[in-house]
Amino acid sequence: MSDAAVVAEQATDHVEDEHAGHATSLNLSNMKLAMWLFLGSECLLFGALISTYLLSKARFLTEILAGNPVVVDSISNPTLVEEMRAAGSVEPLFDIPFTSLSSFILLMSSLAMVLAHKAISEADYKNLRIWLGTTALLGSFFIAGQIAEFTAFKEEGLSFTGSLLGSAFFTLTGFHGIHVSGGIVMLMTLLVLSFKGKLNQDRAETVELVGLYWHFVDVVWVLIFTIVYLIP
């Protein structure tokens, strides 16, 4: 919630960032400093979610290997349980090529975002709109991929309420997904403002701030992709 407020403040709020652009004690913009502090705080948030996931995965796997009937029954696809036992990991659950594509899309959106910022700092409003739109679109593709993946998991029996792993996985990726969605809303807002002619070069910092947020969300996915998907 608070990030939404911070972001809302920064998205169109000119006052703070106006005088922030002028001299301050550190000669830095207030909004940008606040954004970085917020991102520093977010590290603790995602760190807690990732550790929760790691612990839950370890405990889930122990139960599966030990054959705890409650946990085994929570996965409706019995072959999957067999595969997990054989592999000694939860790896068989994941569809790595699909997720790799998602990760690639998100990386690409980061590029689009940085190009959007470049465009507005050069007062190139046409390119600004193109790249803002592209970023939002790629983000939406990523979210669509998430939804597809969640549905597939649900069919295999890894549900949010069914097992410890499910709860941890969906909460971690869901939290990330909410962050991406929030970013998309901000990007769309910027796009509308731009079309209304209210997003000019003197507000390049607003785009930069949304960009910082967007790149951070991307970076978190870089971690999640490796830790959750690639490392068994």
Partner 1 sequence: MAIFNEPLRYSLPEGDKPGVANPLGVFSRPRSETGLKDWLTTVDHKKIGIMYGSAAVFFMLIGGVAALLIRIQLATPNSNFLSADAYNQVYTMHGTIMIFLVVMPIGAAFANFLLPLQIGARDVAFPRINAFSFWCFFLGGLMLNSSWFLGGGADGGWFNYAPNNGVAYSPSHGIDFWNVGLLITGIASLSGAINLITTVLNMRAPGMDLMKMPIFVWMSLVTQFLLLFAIPVITVAQVLLLMDRVFDANFFNVEQGADPLLWQHLFWIFGHPEVYLMILPAFGIVSEVIPTFARKPIFGYPFMVFSGIAIGFMGFGVWAHHMFVSGIGPLSVTAFALSTMFIAVPTGVKILNWVATLWGGKLTLNTAMLFSIGLITQFTVGGLSGVTHAMAPSDTQQTDTYYIVAHFHYVLFGGALFGFMAGFYFWWPKVFGHMLNEKWGKWNFWTMVVGFNLTFGPMHILGLQGMPRRMQTYDDAMGFNLWNFWATVGSFILASGVLLFITNVFLSLYRWNKAGKPNPGPDPWDARTIEWSIQSPAPEHNFDYDPQIVSVDDFWHQKYAEDENGKLRKVAHGADIAQPGNGEGVHLPAPSYWPLLLAASLPLIGYGLIFSLWLTIPGGFLMVVSLYGWALEPADDLDLPHGHDDHKSDHAEIASTVNV
Partner 2 sequence: MRRFNVRGGVTLLALTLLAASCADDKPLNTFEPRGKKAQTIYDSMVHIWWIVLVVFILVVGGTIALTIKGRVKPEDYDENDLPAQVHGHKVAELGWTIAPAIFLAAISVPMVNTIWQLEEDNAPGELDVMVIGNQWWWEYRYDIDGDGFFEDADGDGELYGPEGTGDQDDKEWPLNIALDDDDLSVPNQLVIPAGQQVDLTLTSRDVVHSFWIPRLNGKRDTVPGRLTYWSIHADEPGEYNGWCTEFCGLSHARMRMSVVVLPEAEFDQWLAEQSAPSEVPAEGTDERAGYDVFVSQCSRCHVVSNDDQDLQDAYPKDFEADLLNGAAPNLTHFASRSVFAGATYSQYFGIDPDDDNLDTDQYLNLSDIGKFNEADVLAWIKDAPSRKAMFAEGRRGMPSFDTLSDIDLDNLVAYLATLD
Partner 3 sequence: MSNTATPSTEHESHDDHAHPTETQYWLVFLLLAVITAFEVLWSYLGFSGPALVVPLIVMMLVKFVIVAGVFMHLWFDMKMLNGKIFTMAFAAGIVVALAVYTTVVATFEFNV
Note the residues at the interface with partner 3 (CB under 8 A). Answer: 21-23, 25-29, 32-33, 36-37, 39-44, 46-48, 50-51, 54-55, 58, 96-97, 100, 103-104, 107-108, 110-111, 113-115, 118, 121, 204, 208, 211-212, 215-216, 218-219, 222-223, 225-227, 230-232
User: Where do contacts with partner 2 occur on this chain (CB under 8 A)?
Assistant: 62-63, 66-68, 70-71
Question: Which of the listed partners (partner 3, partner 1, partner 2, none) does 50 bind, with a CB threshold of 5 to 8 Å by partner kind?
Answer: partner 3
Q: How many CB atoms lie within 10 A of CB 148?
A: 13
For residue 65, the minimal CB distance to partner 2 (Å) is: 8
Residues touching partner 1: how many (CB under 8 A)? 62
For residue 186, the minimal CB distance to partner 3 (Å) is: 16
Any idea what the Cα angle at residue 109 is, between residues 106 and 113, rounded to 5°? 140
- Are the beta carbons of 146 and 158 closer than 8 angstroms? no
Site for partner 1 in 100-129 (CB under 8 A): none
Token pair listed for 90: 């939860």
Task: Identify the residue among 76, 77, 127, 171 touching partner 1 (CB under 8 A).
Answer: 171
For residue 68, the minimal CB distance to partner 2 (Å) is: 5
Nearer to partner 1, 82 or 202 (CB): 202
3-state DSSP call for residue 188?
A: helix
Question: Which of the listed partners (partner 3, partner 2, partner 1, none) does 5 bind, with a CB threshold of 5 to 8 Å by partner kind?
Answer: partner 1
Length of the chain: 232
List contacts with partner 1 (CB under 8 A).
Answer: 1-2, 4-6, 8-9, 11-16, 18-20, 22-26, 28, 30, 33-34, 37-38, 40-42, 44-45, 48-49, 52, 55-56, 59-60, 62-63, 68, 70-71, 74, 160-164, 166-168, 171, 175, 189, 196-198, 200, 202-203
